[in-house]
Structures are given as C-alpha cells and as structure tokens.
Amino acid sequence: METRLDLRPTEELDYDALIVPAFEGQKDARFAESLADLYDSGEISGKALEMTLVHRVAGLRAKRLLLVGAGKSDRFNPAELRKCAGAALRFLKGKSVRSIAMLLDAPLAAADYVAAAVEGALLGDFEPDRLKTEKKDEKRVDAFAVAVPGGDSTLDAALQRGRIIAEAQNYTRELANEPGNRMTPTVLAEHARQMAAEQHLECEVLDRDRMQQLGMGALLGVAQGSVEPPCLIVLRYRPESQPSGAAHLGLVGKGVTFDTGGISIKPADNMEKMRYDMSGGAAVIGAMRALAQLRPNVPVTALIPAVENMPGGRAQRPGDIVTTLSGKTVEVLNTDAEGRLILADAITYAKRLGCTHLVDVATLTGAVVVALAHIYVGAFGSDETLTRQVLDAAAAEGEKTWRMPLDDDYKEYLKSAFADLPNIGGRHGGAVTAAMFLKEFADSTPWVHLDIAGTAWLDDPKPYLAKGPSGVTVRTLVRLALDWMP
C-alpha cells in the first residue's frame, strides 16, 4: 500500500474515501449543516471507533466521508489516532475502497499524529492469511494519504518515520505468524541475515559448535531434544560517530520457534499457538530493521537465542543440572520454563559483547497473563533510570506496560539444594520469580525485562488489528533507542 502526505485544501481531496475523526459531544462545523440529521439523531456520536459512512457530501470531491469516533477530545492522543486510522482502514477495506485519505486539522496537524496515522493504516492493513491458496473476495487498499491542508512539507519526515516503524512491526508479525514447520531456528537466522544485508546491519550467527565452545549449557540444554539445530543470532547497529565509553544498548529476544514444553509437555489445547513463542525475538529483529533506517545515536546490539523445545530420547529431563555461560549452575525443575534458560546465556553473552544497558523481550510466563490479562506488558527493572526510560517510551507509543515488583524478598523462592538456583520458583508469583531468575544473570548491568506472553498474540481481531501476532514492543524499543538519554 502506497503512503503519502497530501497538503491540498480539503475540498480538493479526490479520494474514494476521506476519514475525519469525530469527537464525542462535538459537531464538526464543516458538516454541521449537511449532516444535521445524523448529528441530531445521534448516529454520529463520536464514541470511540464508531463508524458513520456518508456518500457524496456537498463541498467534498471525495466519494465518501467516513466519520470515525475518536472519543473524548481531552483524552485523545497519537495512540488513539493510531487505533482510529487502523479501524477506519479495515472498515473501508471491507467495502472495497481503494484510495483513502485521513484528514488531520489543527491541533492534529502535528508530526506525532501524522506518524501515528500512517502506522495505524499500515498495521490495520496487515492480514494473517498469507498461506491461504484460495482467497474469496480478496480486497486491498492501493493508497493511503495523510491530508494536512496547508501543512508544512517537513511533515513528510514524520510520515516516513511512521511508515518505517509500521513496516517493521508488520515484519515482526510476519515472522511470528509462520508455523513451526516453516520457521525453525535456522530459518529465523536466515531471515535475520537477509534483513541485515538489506538494511546494512552486521549479522553473526553462532552455531551449536561455537556455543559449546563458549559454554552455553543452558541454551543448548533446551535445544537438545530437537533435530532442529539451535543458533544465537547477533545483529549490530553502529552510529556514524560514537564517543568512547558511551552507552551500548543491548536488546535480547526469546526465540523459541516452537514450544511443546519438552518433557514437561504442555496440554494439547492451544499448543498450535506456540509458534508465537519467538515473538520476543521477532520484535527485536523488527526493531533493528527500523533502527537501521532511523539511525539513533546509540549503538544497539540485538541477540536472539533461537531454539525448538521438543520432547524425545535426547531431550532435557526434569532434574537435570546445566552450567550456564556465566558459570552458574541451574537445576531444571520444569522443562517448560525454557525461555529463561536461553535468555540467561544470551544476557551473559550480551555483556561480554560490551552492552552497558539491557532490555529483554519474551513470551515468558503464563503467570503474567493471570496478573495483567491480555492488556498490559509486564515490566521488571533492576535500574530506576533505564526502567523509567522504557516505561516512558512505551507510554509515548501507546503500548500499555505495567511495572511489576522485583524485590530481593523474591529470591527466597529461587533456592535449590543441588545447584546455584532452580529454573522455577514454585506456584506463587511466577512472573516475578522468572524475572528474578534473569536478574541473576544481568547482575549489576542496568536491565529491564518485558514479559509479553499476554500481549504478543490476539485470539480475536480488534477493530484496528487482525487476529494473530501483534508485534508488541517494536515501537517501544525503537522509541527507547531514538530518545536515548545517556
């Protein structure tokens, strides 16, 4: 879908449909007379994401006018506009509308709103049915414009930024949407290599032999039950100039391309969705794709430990003890708590590569879904400054993120009589004890853990997003790097 900025007067916008945000309790003066009956009857209410489609409005060249409910004006922000744009595009796409413009008047004629409009449209245009061979009544939108009558052409930079970020998020969704037989660790590494070549990033892939030489016993222990070889993907972005001794941001993403639970096997119900257990890794790869084009001032290294967690004659057993890259030993009490094992070695390796600040993203625990449902990402941080930067980045991007506790008291749940620590901490506070486990490997390095188990996959479509992978945290990670404060 083509995206562009259109600065022409409203009456000259000759699209198949023109989208206009409608606020609750307010009449748009331009249409107050021509649409008086609809306003008076309450058909145009302005309630969030309510759609009113009108054909051939006087004074407009656009064939249709779509008033999309924007809710209360005092609560409106770019995140809400993003939803409006996505919902409106999906609504019009279903009606075979091919060219669309979204009208942004003051005070919405600003860079953040322009970027959000493009992001919403591109995210709303994504469909998860790529592998269907027969698509009845397939519909598409050819062009989406952000119309800012009389606006400044410098807004085009905001439009391009929005396009880059949305395309990166959709790329993440494409990766996470691939079934396990088509997205193995090796295939994920190949996608990363190809993306790195296209975006001029450095890419290195550590194979099993190299990881054995280094001593990544936790990562390799998870992988040993599968015939699919594991790998550790390393992507590097370097800014044009970097002062010596400056910060180096490390992004670590869980890349379990399919998770059966191993010997501690999962129930059959919903196991097919476990292809999305590499959503953290996909988000990190997607974020790097955007950062390569947006060029932040901080160097960023991404690490994606990629494995398949399978049962079998060579699979890791409950009770096994593995030695991590850090030298610490871990008693594996549950083989379905595998994500923290592969992340532990990746976090240690990130520090060896010189990363001074770490953020990991993982579909780590069902416990975070119990705590926060499918609404919020759970955030755990060891460093106040970095944690605040991540939370501010998430808030700016409208990705709901809630800070969770990480008190030392929780260490009491991570005790083993046979190793330095177990990989689970018992029944209570599972999301917290999983984070505490990772904190042991981050050690004194400023670190934030984002648990996206409840937000990385949509079981049902939203008005503005299709069912399936959401690509959550891509925007947060990109904003974090772009707004980086030393």
The pair of structure tokens assigned to 67 is: 């008033």
Please tell me which residue in 83, 93, 163, 340 is annotated as part of the active site: 340
Q: Residue 272's CB: how many other CB atoms inside 10 A?
A: 11
Length of the chain: 486
- What is the token pair recorded at 409? 């008291």
**Sheet-wide strand order for 329-331:** 321-323, 329-331, 421-422
Q: How far lies 313's CA from each of 225, 227, 310, 317, 337, in Å?
A: 7, 11, 10, 10, 19
Catalytic residue at 340? Answer: yes
Nearest alpha carbon to residue 358 among 230, 247, 243: 247
Which CA distances in Å does 454 have to 165, 267, 277, 343, 438? 22, 18, 11, 19, 19
Task: Please name which of 114, 117, 63, 62 lies closest in space to residue 88, comparing C-alpha atoms.
Answer: 117
Q: How far is CA 419 from the centre of its chain?
A: 35
Query: Which of 386, 352, 231, 237 shows the shortest CA–CA distance to 301?
Result: 237
Nearby residues of 400 by Cβ (< 8 Å), 6 or more positions away: 375, 376, 377, 394, 455
Name every residue whose Cβ is closer than 8 Å to that of residue 272 and which is 6 or more positions away in sequence.
none
Residue of 27, 193, 208, 266 marked catalytic: 266
C-alpha angle with apex 188: 182 to 191, nearest 5 degrees?
A: 105
Active site residues: 266, 340
